[in-house]
Structure 1
Amino acid sequence: MMNFNAQFLPLLFSLSILTSSEACHDHKTLISSFSIDLIHRDSVFSPFYNSSLSHSQIIMKAARRSASRLKHFQGGGGGGAVITPNRGDYLMKMLLGTPLVELHAAADTGSDLVWVPCLPCGGCDPQNAFDPSKSSTFNVLPCDSQPCGSLPRQSCGDSNQCRYFYKYGDQSFTTGDLATDTINFGSAVSVSSPSTVIGCGHDNQFEDNTGIAGLGGGPLSLISQLGDEINHKFSYCLLPFSSSTTSKLKFGDQLNNVNGDAAASTPLFTKTPTTFYYVNLEGVTVGHKTVQTGQTGGNIIIDSGTTLTVLESGFYSELRDAVREAVGVEPVTNPPEPLDLCFRYEPEMEQGVEFVLHFTDNADLRLHRGNMFTVKDDLLCLLVIPSDSISILGNIAQINFQVAFDLVQNKVSFAPADCTAI
């Protein structure tokens, strides 16, 4: 049976790490790498785990999140609102404030601001919100501060405090004060980031009681704020949703337990907004047929928060035809939404379709079958959907690859990996 189980803001802090051996000498030192766990929001490790859901139900739940999230990338919502993605699939644990309070936030390469629900708050669970009045290191930033000027949309409060506002394509939103506080990542060594810029959300209409840890390319993201301290590098290695362990997010130079010789590296392309990580997909080989995009300037976003892979509709149509040809049977007429291409499952399909993604600079990424297909009930379904305007490499397509971003050399690398060993 198939196993179908992804500079202009100055640093306001230094990243300090105290190891057990250094504690004996009562001092701190700076290092440039550390790792934390990523928890899929439907896994057994998640605070939102639902034991009654089957694997196929989890896949479909995540697929529907993809369809909703697509609106954010395409600019839905209107009214001049800031459109950013929300409700990513993978959560990270953060310890915020002094004393530390444990919170979960969605780790999201398609978003910038780090924000959490804060007391007093509307639209949040007070038991799982951050209380800034109890943190001795919490400070609200003024309207004339540089971080406030970095926000896509902001206003000035009655006390000259910087107010942020983010609205999403599905009409959910968060608004509150822009502030600084200490974030501790709770890794094997004590990793603490004083004066991290965060959004303290006092009015939130948001599914689940989590915030977002933005890992995008914009100036307020966690990656940009860490900056030199992590050599402008980070990576992740995603496990299947049903895995019995957690995925890993690594900051800095920690690329171990991967097949470096098999790594495929391709340039990143800078576009506006700077949040998104664009690469150029030149084509896809399906079985023995290659479909070309004919594009050169960066045409697909690498995203940890979108489940499905999304392709611009013209290219998707050609890929869909190639998949139908490779599978060799007619698809079903009414696939389960939001999926678009499904076949009645037969065991011989296990030997069927191979996918290779061709990126700029001869970076070829050979996918596993589980990166592109899932079995739902008696159907074999393609985990790719069309879009009117944008393409996204979703997180299922990235499972069991170490995806490493080097923002100095402006490149991303994909290396096949056993992500349980990372």
Structure 2
Amino acid sequence: MPPPPALLVCLLLLAVPRPGEAAATPTRPLLFSLRARQVPAGALPRPASKLRFHHNVSLTVSLAVGTPPQNVTMVLDTGSELSWLLCAPGGGGRGASSFRPRASRTFASVPCGSPQCRSRDLPSPPACDGASRQCRVSLSYADGSSSDGALATEVFTVGQGPPLRAAFGCMATAFDTSPDGVVTAGLLGMNRGALSFVSQASTRRFSYCISDRDDAGVLLLGHSDLPFLPLNYTPLYQPSLPLPYFDRVAYSVQLLGIRVGGKPLPIPASVLAPDHTGAGQTMVDSGTQFTFLLGDAYSALKSEFLKQTKPVLPALNDPSFAFQEAFDTCFRVPQGRAPPARLPAVTLLFNGAEMTVAGDRLLYKVPGERRGGDGVWCLTFGNSDVVPITAYVIGHHHQMNVWVEYDLERGRVGLAPIRCDVASERLGLML
């Protein structure tokens, strides 16, 4: 059965112009405001997602694509490489949910002989269409969904920077349009692969702060010193040799341990590190909602969290129930009430940095699920083994009110807890 409908949250990025900036090699960072918006259940389509739990929450960025420019809304995903747009088959379509290549003077298909068509960074390498001699791409995901189309190049405009020509997937099949106007036309790949938007735009540093409510957050593309942020850095992890199950273009860090309420979990270091095949890496991913742990680590977290919350929070005790199939550490809370404010924080320990999940980021109310007069709330850590994926994934729900910086120049990720509205004010955004 599909997971129950969930509250849909869409974070909309609105460009704040900065005169004289360049998209490809900016001399000044591109600064955006990031707003949180709640959308009624069912308002967004289910996208072709790389994981089955990536269906109900998206971070979206609005860009202008083509000549004359067409405004599109794309999911911002640090866990994917190739950007793609749902392309209208003809060019006469007017829906905001698709890009019209025939209406653009700067659209160009990528031929089979192009170096871009020989990319090996993608999970499935591009293929050549023998009849048209055009490069074709197919993206398949763990939930069984897929997107198929042609590799192309087009002009992308971010803010008021000069246009940037970049390769992307012009997809013939993807997901349906939304009747509520909050529509995504595709995905903006932001990982470290050669065909990602980050790489093609020569962006060596970007960062964001995701708000937990309708306050202003921030997206920053490019280099900028932020003296008011006490960033702690953890190095990006890369094995010395290629491994079959290690995603080498992901933002991977080293997970060293987990604490619950200040108590270290008895998890062997070997469980938290990639094995000889590369399975078990830890990825920071804006395209995933919650955080996922491999089975042994998840079991340890579940046991300790249930133990520490037993006096104040009754467990659901329903072995047949799991929210979105992977979240089975659930509790009963009287309808109309919130869970207790004082719950044991969960801290993820990295090499040089840590991330603490506390307060209302620990539990998520399952929409429409009741037990008598109680609502059902689940811990926002899921079991990777039942998705299934062979990695630890840190989703954007646990990145809320944390400044997250991706520094490719020095090969590191920076973390600093801060309220997003405070960060916006310090950066001088008028919101």
- Calculate the TM-score normalised by the size of structure 2: 0.74
Residue 173 of structure 2 corresponds to 203
Choose the corresponding residue for 1:156, options 103, 128, 141: 128
Structural mapping, 1:278-317, within 5 Å: 278-291=252-265, 292-294=267-269, 295-296=272-273, 299-317=281-299
State percent identity of aligned pairs.
Answer: 27
* 1:355 counterpart letter in structure 2: V
Determine helix, strand or coil for the equivalent of 2:237: coil
Residue 370 of structure 2 corresponds to none
Query: CA, structure 1 residues 173+331, in 2 after alignment: closer, same or farther (shift >3 Å)?
Result: same
Distance in 1 separating the partners of 2:52 and 2:33 = 28
Choose the corresponding residue for 1:34, options 30, 35, 38: 30
1:233 equivalenced with 2:210 (yes/no): no
Residue 403 of structure 2 corresponds to 402
Determine helix, strand or coil for the equivalent of 1:413: strand
Query: CA, structure 1 residues 293+100, in 2 after alignment: closer, same or farther (shift >3 Å)?
Result: farther
Residue 139 of structure 1 and its aligned partner are, at CA, apart by: 1.6
Q: Residue 206 of structure 2 contacts residue 220 of structure 2 at CA under 8 Å; is this kept in 1?
A: yes
Distance in 1 separating the partners of 2:250 and 2:356 = 23
Residue 142 of structure 2 corresponds to 169
Residue 218 of structure 2 corresponds to 248
Residue 346 of structure 2 corresponds to 355
Structural mapping, 1:22-171, within 5 Å: 30-38=26-34, 43-44=37-38, 49-50=39-40, 53=41, 69-70=50-51, 89-120=58-89, 126=95, 128-150=97-119, 151=122, 152-157=124-129, 158-171=131-144
Residue 9 of structure 1 corresponds to none
Residue 415 of structure 1 corresponds to 416
Distance in 2 separating the partners of 1:219 and 1:264 = 27
Residue 418 of structure 1 and its aligned partner are, at CA, apart by: 1.5
Determine helix, strand or coil for the equivalent of 1:366: strand
Query: CA, structure 1 residues 87+137, in 2 after alignment: closer, same or farther (shift >3 Å)?
Result: farther
Q: Residue 88 of structure 1 contacts residue 108 of structure 1 at CA under 8 Å; is this kept in 2?
A: no
Residue 366 of structure 1 and its aligned partner are, at CA, apart by: 2.8
Query: CA, structure 1 residues 265+380, in 2 after alignment: closer, same or farther (shift >3 Å)?
Result: same
Choose the corresponding residue for 2:361, options 371, 377, 394: 371
Distance in 2 separating the partners of 1:293 and 1:101 = 52
Determine helix, strand or coil for the equivalent of 1:276: coil
Q: Residue 138 of structure 2 contacts residue 146 of structure 2 at CA under 8 Å; is this kept in 1?
A: yes
* 2:51 counterpart letter in structure 1: L
Query: CA, structure 1 residues 37+182, in 2 after alignment: closer, same or farther (shift >3 Å)?
Result: farther
* 1:198 counterpart letter in structure 2: F
Aligned residues: 364
Which string of whole-angstrom CA distances, capped at 9 and with x for unpartnered residues, describes residues 278-336 of structure 1? 11111111114111451445731111111111100111111111111221345211255
Query: CA, structure 1 residues 328+258, in 2 after alignment: closer, same or farther (shift >3 Å)?
Result: farther
Distance in 2 separating the partners of 1:373 and 1:303 = 19
Query: CA, structure 1 residues 348+244, in 2 after alignment: closer, same or farther (shift >3 Å)?
Result: closer
Q: Residue 99 of structure 2 contacts residue 185 of structure 2 at CA under 8 Å; is this kept in 1?
A: no
Choose the corresponding residue for 1:340, options 328, 334, 354: 328
1:219 equivalenced with 2:194 (yes/no): yes
Which string of whole-angstrom CA distances, capped at 9 and with x for unpartnered residues, describes residues 265-284 of structure 1? 11111364333211111111
Distance in 2 separating the partners of 1:352 and 1:184 = 45
1:273 equivalenced with 2:247 (yes/no): yes
Distance in 1 separating the partners of 2:116 and 2:55 = 21
1:382 equivalenced with 2:351 (yes/no): no
Distance in 2 separating the partners of 1:401 and 1:171 = 32
Distance in 2 separating the partners of 1:387 and 1:327 = 23
Q: Looking at secondary structure, tell me which structure has more helix per residue.
A: 1
Distance in 2 separating the partners of 1:415 and 1:268 = 16
Query: CA, structure 1 residues 87+216, in 2 after alignment: closer, same or farther (shift >3 Å)?
Result: farther
Q: Residue 402 of structure 1 contacts residue 417 of structure 1 at CA under 8 Å; is this kept in 2?
A: yes
* 1:233 counterpart letter in structure 2: R
Q: Residue 217 of structure 1 contacts residue 224 of structure 1 at CA under 8 Å; is this kept in 2?
A: yes
Q: CA RMSD in A?
A: 3.5
- Calculate the TM-score normalised by the size of structure 1: 0.76
